[in-house]
Amino acid sequence: MKPLKQTKTIQEISKYKYGFNEGEVSVYKTAMGINEKIIEQISKHKNEPKWMLDYRLDSFKKFQAMGQPSFGPDLNFINFQDYCYFSQGTNASASNWDEIPDSIKNTFDRLGIPQAEKDFLIGINAQWDATPVYTKMLKEVEDQGVIFSDCDTALREHPELFKKYFGTLIANDDNKYAALNGAVWSAGTFIYIPKGVKLEKPLQAYFRINYQAAGQFERTLIIVDDDASLHYIEGCTAPIYSKNNLHAATVELFVGKRSNLRYTTVQNWSDNVLNLVTKRSLVEEDGRMEWVDGNIGSKINMKYPSCILKGDRAQGDTISIAVAKNGVYQDAGGKMIHFGKETKSKIISKSITFQGGTANYRGLVYIGPNATDSKARVECDTLILDNQSHSDTIPKNKVENNRSQIEHEATVSKVSEEQLFYLMSRGLTELEALEIIVMGFIEPFTKELPLEYAVELNQLIRMDMEGSVG
C-alpha cells in the first residue's frame, strides 16, 4: 500500500470557538496609549490611596527604562501606544447574572460560565476587559472567613492584608511586563483562605478581553494560610480581531505551612493575543504548590509558572501543555527554586506543534547550597505533526550542594505513517487516528483537570487540529 500523504492546510479563522464579540460595551474607558496622565486618571477613577498611585507611577518609570526580554520571541514590534489600558464594562460588579447588561451576559452564557457555577463551583469572579462584572461565593464558604473578590475591592475593604502581600513576591522591576502591570493593573482576583480551612470545591475566575487593541492587566493575589487548601481555576478567551490584544498579568501566590494550593489555567486566547505574564509562588514548610497550566492559542505566549520552595520539605509541581499551530509561538515552561532542605519539585511539559507552529520549553531548576537532600525532576515531551513545525527544549539546571539531585529528560517525536496506517486499518479516518495519538500524548495533563475542563480541553484541541491533515 502506498504511504499516506498528509497535506497541511492553514486552519480557517472561524474554527476558534470563542471568537465572537458583542460589540463595544463600556461605561468608561481611557484614551489610547500610556503616559503618566492616563495612569493618574486610572488611579483617580478607582479612588485609590496615595501609596498605590505612587506605586503605579514608580512602576511606569521602571517600565520605560527597561528593555524587552533578551530571550524567547522578538517583542520589539510592540508599540505600547497602540493599546487602550483601561475599559470598564459596567458600573458595578453584580452578584446576580440578571443584573449584568444583556450584551455581556450573552457572552458569558455562550461561554458556559453560569452553568459551570451551578454545576460544580463554590465561587466565581468574571472579568470583562479591565473590570469585574460578576462575583459570587456560597455563604457557607464566606462564613468560614474566606475572602474572594477582585483586587480593587480587596484594596478598599482589606487594605492592611492587601498591602502586606501586594508586590512582595514580584517586584515592579522584575521584568518589563511586571512593571507594565504595576503601572496599569486592574481587577483580577484576591483570595484569602484562613488557617485550617480546606475548600472541597474550586473557586474560579474567568477573564474575557472584548475590545480590539485592548489591554488586560489583571492582578492575582492568593494567600493560603497554614493548614489550609484551595483549588483555583482561571479561564481566558478573547474575540478574533485583525489587531493584537495585549495581556500582561501578574500572579503572586503564598502557600502556608502544611497547606496545598492548586492553580489551574485553561488559557484559550484567540491568536491575536500577546500573552506575557509573570506567575510566582512562595511555599512554606511542608506546603505544596501545584501549577496545572494549559496553553492553547495566543499569537505569542511567554509564561513560566514558578515555585520558590522556601520551607523545609516544601513541594512544587508544574504540569503544562502548549499547543502551537500556524502563527502561534509558545515559549513556556516552569521554574523551581529550592531553598529549604528536603524540598521536592517536578516539571512535566507537553507540547504539540503542527501547521508550522513553534512551541519551546524554557525552564530553570535551582537547588541552593542550603537545600540539602532535595530532589528535582524535569520531563519535556514534544509531539510534532508535520515537517514545518518547530520545538526546542531550553533548560537551565543548577545544584549548589552535593547531597541533592536533578533528573532531566527530553523527547521529540513525530507521528509516523505506520502509526496512522495501523489505526486507519481499524476503520478510523486519518484525522480520527491522529486525534487518538494526540489525546494519548496529553493524557498526563488532562487527568489532572476536573472532568468538565478535561472534556472541554480535548474538544478545543480537536477543533485546532481540524485542517491539520487532508
Q: What is the domain partition of the chain in residue ranges?
A: 13-465
Between 208 and 345, residue with greater pLDDT? 345
pLDDT in tens, 254-282: 999 999 999 998 877 778 889 999 999 99
Q: How confident is the model at residue 372 (pLDDT cuts 50, 70, 90)?
A: very high
Which helix (H) or strand (E) segment is 280 a member of?
Answer: strand 278-283
Taking 80 as the threshold, does the pLDDT of residue 348 lie above it?
yes
Closest CA to 306 of 343, 279, 266: 279
Phi-psi domain of 169 (left: phi exceeds 0; alpha: psi -120 through 50; beta: other)? alpha
**Given this model, what pLDDT does residue 37 score?**
97
Residue range 305-332: average pLDDT? 94
Torsion of CA 184, 334, 191, 339, to 10 degrees: -110
* Rounded distance between C-alpha atoms, residue 295 and residue 461, angstroms: 10
Report phi then psi at 411, rounded to 5. -135, 145
**Given this model, what pLDDT does residue 112 score?**
60
Q: At what angle do helices 113-120 and 102-111 cross, to 10 degrees?
A: 60
**Given this model, what pLDDT does residue 469 score?**
52
Phi-psi domain of 367 (left: phi exceeds 0; alpha: psi -120 through 50; beta: other)? beta
* Rounded distance between C-alpha atoms, residue 242 and residue 19, angstroms: 12
Taking 90 as the threshold, does the pLDDT of residue 443 lie above it?
no
Residue in the block written with cell 502544611:
258
CB 135 within 8 A of CB 95: yes
Q: What predicted TM-score, i.e. pTM, was given to this entire model?
A: 0.86
CB 165 within 8 A of CB 191: no
Taking 80 as the threshold, does the pLDDT of residue 43 lie above it?
yes
Residue range 364-374: average pLDDT? 98
**Given this model, what pLDDT does residue 204 score?**
82
**Given this model, what pLDDT does residue 4 score?**
36
Instruction: Give 54's contacts (C-beta < 8 A, 6+ positions apart).
Output: none
pLDDT in tens, 166-223: 999 999 999 999 999 999 999 889 999 999 999 988 888 776 666 566 788 999 999 9
**Given this model, what pLDDT does residue 407 score?**
96
Q: Report the chain's mean pLDDT, rounded to a whole number.
A: 83
Instruction: Give 397's contacts (C-beta < 8 A, 6+ positions apart).
Output: 364, 365, 366, 376, 378, 406, 408
Cβ-based neighbour number of residue 72 at 10 Å: 18
**Given this model, what pLDDT does residue 312 score?**
98
Taking 50 as the threshold, does the pLDDT of residue 6 lie above it?
no
Amino acid at position 185, single letter: W
- SS3 label, residue 213: coil
**Given this model, what pLDDT does residue 10 score?**
28
Q: How confident is the model at residue 9 (pLDDT cuts 50, 70, 90)?
A: very low
* Rounded distance between C-alpha atoms, residue 124 and residue 99, angstroms: 15
Q: Using DSSP bridges, classify how beta strands 315-324 and 300-303 pair: parallel, antiparallel or unpaired.
A: unpaired
Which helix (H) or strand (E) segment is 335 a member of?
Answer: strand 329-338
pLDDT in tens, 57-100: 999 999 999 999 999 999 999 999 999 898 876 655 566 666 66
Ranking 39-48, 71-80, 124-133, 370-379 by mean pLDDT, the lowest is 124-133
Considering the chain, what percentage of its residues have pLDDT values greater than 70?
Answer: 76
Taking 90 as the threshold, does the pLDDT of residue 162 lie above it?
yes
